Amino acid sequence: MRVLVLSWPSVLDGAHVGASSIRLLARWLAEAGHDVALLSGGLFRHTVDLGEQLRPFGIVGAGRYRFGSRSMVTFKDGTVKAQMVCTAATPDTIEATDIRTFVSHGQRLIRDHRPQLTLYHGGERATLEVARLARNSSSKVVATAWEFGWESRTAFELAHLVVAGSKYLAN
């Protein structure tokens, strides 16, 4: 099965429960034999050296990537084909261009990868727009709830199914 995984916060951010969890889920799906593509934003909860975060993936010239540059970083995370857009350094600096860039790359992945299943977490505008485009292209859409804060109905309206990490989140 072809799977697309979406995360606005960086999946490399170990301090973000949702992003870390969806990254792990993507790896499990890939290890189970599915063709998994992952699109991640560059949002981290804490200030980090992006080059240091990318170096373990064997990215040549990892130090040249900067937050807010909107450049695309492509790497393999296990057998997952991962892409990260250097969208923003903090939640306060997100601009419309960051959202358009993420959605543009999401559109390309939907067109080229043709996912049968799309997984996402959170309710950020960019993530929801790519999930909507995937749903319109006949992909089954699964939302995930890994942490509190996404109780808003709009975060789950596009989903065919919602996966929750605990019975409390499920409620």
Residues 129 and 123: their CA atoms lie apart, in Å, by 10
Q: Could you read off the pLDDT of 43-94 as tens digits, one per residue?
A: 888 888 888 888 888 887 777 887 778 888 999 999 999 999 987 656 677 7
Angle between helices 125-136 and 96-113 (to 10 degrees): 30
Confidence category of residue 153, pLDDT binned at 50, 70, 90: confident
**Amino acid 88: pLDDT:** 66
Q: Which tops the pLDDT comparison, 107 or 148?
A: 107
Average pLDDT, the chain: 88
- Taking 80 as the threshold, does the pLDDT of residue 28 lie above it? yes
Is it the case that residue 135 has pLDDT exceeding 90? yes
* C-alpha count within 13 angstroms, C-beta hemisphere, residue 29: 21
* Alpha-carbon span 128 to 131, nearest angstrom: 5
Task: Give the whole-angstrom CA distance, residue 19 versus residue 125.
Answer: 16
